[in-house]
C-alpha cells in the first residue's frame, strides 16, 4: 500500500533495489502495488482535493517549505541510499538534493507573491449599448489529483518530490506518485518525508501518496483511474507515448505532460571553429559524457560545415572520447538499450564510429562513443538523429551553408538547440536561429545545454517528440500552469469571490482590470 515501510522479507510481488555498478541487490523489499491499492490512493486524493484546493497560497507555501525541511532532515541516509541505487557520485546527489529543496522553496515564494493565478477582471457596464456587460472575473484554479512518474536519471530532482510534484502541489492538486523502480529506497525515504510534512501541516491524508511497481500495470492504473485529472512524466518516448495514448482513450481524456526523447543539436559555425575549435571539441565531449550521458539535455547531435577546421575539431573530439572513462549507467536496462542503440546506429548507411573509449569489465558501464555522418545520409535517414540515451553523439558534416540549414529544417522537436559562432557569424546565420526557434523550447548561444536552471524564465519542453505539449515546461515556475485551468465568475457577490478576485484586492497581487495591469 502507499508509503508502506521497507520490509525485510520477500513475496511473489516484491522487489529490491539494485546497485547499478555491481548488480548486487540492496537491503529491503518493496511491494508491487495492486490495482485496488492504486485505486484507494487515487480515491483518497480525490477526497483530499475537496479541502486542499481551497488552501491559500500562504498555506500551500508553508507545506512546500515543510517538505524541503523534512527532506533535508533525512541527512546522509538519503544520499547514501541514492548513491547505492543510482551509481551517481555523492557530490552530484548533494547538488541534486539542493536543487530539489530549492525548487520547493521557489514555488513557495511564487505562491506567496500570488500573481501566478492570472486574475482578470472586467467590471460591469450596466449602461453599455446596445447591451450591458456583466461583471466578469477570471483566475486559474487547480485541475484535480495528479499522477506523477519518477524519472530514472534524477532520483531526487525529477522524482518523488521533483518538479512535477512540487508544481502540482503548488497549484492545489493532490499527487499520487509512481516511484521509479530503479531507486525504490530513495523514493520511499522522500515519500515518507512528504507524508510527515502533510501531517505537520494538518492536511488531508490523501494529499500525497506513493506507490511502487516494476510493471506497466501500476502506472496504467494511475492514468486510467477517473479521479486522476492530469499526469506528469519524464522518461522515454515509448513510455510517454503509451501513457498519452492511454489517457486519450479514457471516457474522460486528460492531459499528459510527458518529457521524452531529445538529442539537443549543437551547430558549430565555421569561424568559431577557426578561433577555438580545439577547446570546443573538448568542451563538447565533456558535455556528451557528463553524468554518463544520462541527461535529457545531452547533446547527442552536432552539425559542422566541412572544412579543415572541422576536420581538426573531429580529430580533437575523437581524442577526447578515446581518453574518456566508461562509468556505470543508471540501470542494466538503460545500459542494454544504449548498447543496442549504438550497435544499430553504427550499422546505418553513411554512419561511422569515429572514436570509442576503451571497454572495461563491468556490470553496466556505458562506453563513450562518437560517430560521424554526412548531411546527405541524415536527410535520407532521419532516424540517425533519434536519441540514444547515454554517452554518445553523432557529428553531421554538411557540405555547405545550405545543407546545414536543410539539416536544421528537417529536425524533429527537441528540448534545446545550441549555436556556437562569433558575434558577426551569428548575425550572418540569423536564418538558422529562426529555423531552430520553431524546433525547440530553449535556444542557446555559445553554451552547452546540460545545465537547466530552476527559475521563472526557464523553458524545459519542446515540440513533439521532445514533449507531448510544447506549450508546457517541467522546470521553472511556469510548470504550475500545467495543473490549473481558468474559471470565470460572472456577477458574483464580492463575499463569494476568491480573495484574488475581490474588488479590494486584499492579497495585493497584480491583476488585469478592465484591460490594464494594476496591483
Q: Rounded to an integer, what distance in angstroms lies between the CA atom of residue 315 and that of residue 371?
A: 12
What lies within 8 Å, CB to CB, of 206 at 6+ separation is: 41, 43, 44, 45, 46, 47, 48, 49, 174
Selected catalytic residue, list 31, 259, 309, 386: 259
> What's the grid cell of residue 359?
571497454
Q: Check if the beta carbon of residue 289 is closer than 8 Å to that of residue 299.
A: no
Q: Rounded to an integer, what distance in angstroms lies between the CA atom of residue 519 and that of residue 506?
A: 10
Q: Cβ atoms within 10 A of the Cβ of 351, count?
A: 20
What lies within 8 Å, CB to CB, of 482 at 6+ separation is: 167, 168, 171, 230, 232, 255, 257, 469, 472
Is 230 in a helix, a strand, or coil?
A: strand
Ordered strands of the 369-374 beta sheet = 352-356, 369-374, 392-398, 301-305, 266-268, 414-420, 440-445
> What's the grid cell of residue 402?
545550405
173 is catalytic: no
296 is catalytic: yes
Angle between helices 163-171 and 57-73 (to 10 degrees): 150
Selected catalytic residue, list 296, 386, 387, 500: 296
Q: Which of 149, 182, 155 is nearest to 335 (CA)?
A: 182
Catalytic positions? 259, 296
Amino acid at each position: 500500500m502507499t508509503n508502506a515501510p521497507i520490509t525485510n522479507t520477500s513475496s511473489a510481488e516484491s522487489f529490491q533495489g539494485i546497485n547499478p555498478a555491481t548488480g548486487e541487490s540492496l537491503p529491503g523489499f518493496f511491494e508491487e502495488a495492486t490495482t485496488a491499492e492504486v485505486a484507494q490512493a487515487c480515491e483518497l486524493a480525490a477526497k483530499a482535493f475537496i479541502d486542499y484546493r481551497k488552501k491559500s497560497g500562504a498555506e500551500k507555501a508553508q507545506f512546500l517549505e515543510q517538505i524541503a525541511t523534512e527532506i533535508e532532515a533525512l541527512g546522509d541516509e538519503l544520499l547514501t541510499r541514492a548513491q547505492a541505487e543510482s551509481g551517481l557520485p555523492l557530490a552530484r546527489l548533494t547538488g541534486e538534493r539542493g536543487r530539489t529543496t530549492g525548487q520547493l522553496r521557489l514555488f513557495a515564494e511564487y505562491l506567496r507573491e500570488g500573481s501566478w493565478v492570472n486574475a482578470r477582471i472586467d467590471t460591469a457596464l450596466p449602461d453599455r449599448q446596445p447591451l450591458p456587460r456583466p461583471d466578469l472575473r477570471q483566475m486559474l484554479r487547480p485541475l484535480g489529483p495528479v499522477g506523477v512518474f519518477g524519472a530514472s536519471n534524477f532520483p531526487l530532482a525529477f522524482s518523488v518530490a521533483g518538479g512535477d510534484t512540487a508544481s502540482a502541489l503548488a497549484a492545489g492538486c493532490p499527487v499520487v506518485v509512481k516511484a521509479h523502480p530503479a531507486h525504490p529506497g530513495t523514493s520511499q525515504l522522500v515519500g515518507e518525508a512528504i507524508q510527515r510534512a502533510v501531517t505537520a501541516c494538518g492536511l488531508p491524508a490523501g494529499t500525497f501518496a506513493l506507490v511502487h511497481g516494476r510493471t506497466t500495470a501500476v502506472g496504467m492504473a494511475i492514468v486510467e483511474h477517473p479521479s486522476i485529472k492530469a499526469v506528469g512524466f519524464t522518461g522515454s518516448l515509448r513510455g510517454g507515448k503509451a501513457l498519452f495514448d492511454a489517457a486519450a482513450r479514457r471516457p474522460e481524456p486528460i492531459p499528459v505532460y510527458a518529457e521524452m526523447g531529445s538529442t539537443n543539436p549543437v551547430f558549430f559555425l565555421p569561424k568559431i571553429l577557426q578561433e577555438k575549435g580545439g577547446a570546443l571539441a573538448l568542451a563538447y565531449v565533456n558535455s556528451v559524457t557528463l553524468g554518463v550521458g544520462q541527461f535529457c539535455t545531452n547533446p547527442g547531435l552536432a552539425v559542422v560545415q566541412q572544412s579543415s577546421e572541422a576536420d581538426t575539431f573531429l580529430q580533437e573530439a575523437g581524442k577526447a572520447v578515446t581518453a574518456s572513462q566508461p562509468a556505470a549507467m543508471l540501470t542494466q536496462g538503460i545500459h542494454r538499450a544504449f548498447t543496442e542503440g549504438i550497435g544499430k546506429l553504427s550499422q546505418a548507411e553513411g554512419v561511422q564510429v569515429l572514436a570509442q573509449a576503451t571497454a572495461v569489465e563491468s556490470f553496466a558501464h556505458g562506453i563513450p562513443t562518437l560517430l560521424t555522418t554526412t548531411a546527405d545520409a541524415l536527410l535520407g535517414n532521419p532516424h540517425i538523429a533519434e536519441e540514444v540515451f547515454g554517452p554518445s553523439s553523432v557529428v553531421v558534416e554538411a557540405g555547405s551553408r545550405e545543407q546545414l540549414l536543410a539539416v536544421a529544417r528537417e529536425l524533429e522537436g527537441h528540448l534545446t538547440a545550441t549555436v556556437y559562432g562569433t558575434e558577426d557569424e551569428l548575425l550572418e546565420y540569423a536564418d538558422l536561429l529562426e529555423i531552430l526557434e520553431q524546433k525547440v523550447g530553449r535556444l542557446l548561444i555559445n553554451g552547452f545545454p546540460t545545465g537547466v536552471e530552476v527559475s521563472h524564465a526557464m523553458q524545459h519542453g519542446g515540440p513533439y517528440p521532445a514533449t507531448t505539449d510544447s506549450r508546457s515546461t517541467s522546470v521553472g515556475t511556469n510548470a504550475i500552469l500545467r495543473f490549473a485551468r481558468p474559471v470565470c465568475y460572472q456577477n458574483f457577490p464580492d463575499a463569494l469571490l476568491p480573495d484574488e478576485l475581490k474588488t479590494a484586492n486584499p492579497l495585493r497581487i497584480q491583476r488585469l482590470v478592465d484591460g490594464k495591469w494594476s496591483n
